[in-house]
């Protein structure tokens, strides 16, 4: 059997607040293969965002192993982790995190600019991604000129710019109304199926989690069940 795209083994993470050490994640182990869709369910404060940050090389665990595409993430150098984030991982956050001074096209193109890809190729692909997420007529609009749902669509297009193998979505509908949220989930699942990406989505909503073939339940920093 082939090696999983993502494998975490015995991952622990704590944060220090003044003189107190606050445990966040305790002995987390999970696997995801190419094309998997996993929902990470749990209440606010359960550790979902922290776990996604570790899996996506945005932060390092206190101990344990995280391997992505055969590379060790937990102990990688800053240069290695930057390369992994740019080329192998796409992030979709609750708060969009678009740069306000850039228009939609420029925001989507940013990861490819960082990777120093050829300018005309980058622009063509960014335009195509915006068309795919339904924003062909919004390429020159800045974030403040877009609705919340449109901003999240830009963020999704940006996350796909470098064709990541792993897409991490952290409460992607948290700032959206119910109808728009359902549209965003539908779009994410369509794109995941089209591109055969591995998608891990954190949510506190049981309805959203139920759409995943696998659901991981986080309770007080530990995986209490795998459904």
Nearest alpha-carbon partner for 114 in 141, 138, 84, 149: 84
pLDDT of residue 66: 95
pLDDT of residue 45: 81
State the Cα angle at 26 between 77 and 53, rounded to 5°. 40
pLDDT of residue 183: 94
Low-confidence ranges of the chain (pLDDT < 70): 1, 225-227
Q: How far is CA 176 from CA 7, 96, 150, 152, 156, in A?
A: 31, 11, 10, 9, 14
pTM above 0.75, yes or no: yes
pLDDT of residue 147: 95
Determine which helix (DSSP H) or strand (DSSP E) holds 79, and give its type and residue range. helix 78-88
Question: Which domains does the chain show, CATH number per domain?
Answer: 6-226 (3.40.50.300)
pLDDT of residue 227: 61
Strand 37-41 and strand 214-219: pairing? parallel
Rounded distance between C-alpha atoms, residue 157 and residue 127, angstroms: 9
Nearest alpha-carbon partner for 73 in 165, 150, 184, 137: 165
Rounded distance between C-alpha atoms, residue 96 and residue 187, angstroms: 15
């Amino acid at each position: 059997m082939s090696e999983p795209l993502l494998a975490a083994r015995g991952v622990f993470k704590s944060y220090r607040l003044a003189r107190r050490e606050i445990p966040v994640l305790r002995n987390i182990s999970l696997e995801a293969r190419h094309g998997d869709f996993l929902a990470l369910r749990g209440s606010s404060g359960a550790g979902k965002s922290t776990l996604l940050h570790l899996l996506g090389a945005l932060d390092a665990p206190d101990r344990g192993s995280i391997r992505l595409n055969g590379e060790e993430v937990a102990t990688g150098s800053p240069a290695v982790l930057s390369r992994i984030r740019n080329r192998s991982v796409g992030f979709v956050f609750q708060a969009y995190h678009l740069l306000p001074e850039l228009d939609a096209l420029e925001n989507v193109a940013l990861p490819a600019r960082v990777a120093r890809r050829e300018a005309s190729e980058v622009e063509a692909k960014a335009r195509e991604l915006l068309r795919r997420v339904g924003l062909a007529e919004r390429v020159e609009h800045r974030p403040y000129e877009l609705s919340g749902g449109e901003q999240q669509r830009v963020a999704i297009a940006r996350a796909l710019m470098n064709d990541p193998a792993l897409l991490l979505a952290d409460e992607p509908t948290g700032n959206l109304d119910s109808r728009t949220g359902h549209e965003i989930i539908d779009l994410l699942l369509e794109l995941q199926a089209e591109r055969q990406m591995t998608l891990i989505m954190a949510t506190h909503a049981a309805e959203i989690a139920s759409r995943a073939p696998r659901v991981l339940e986080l309770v007080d920093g530990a995986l209490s069940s795998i459904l």
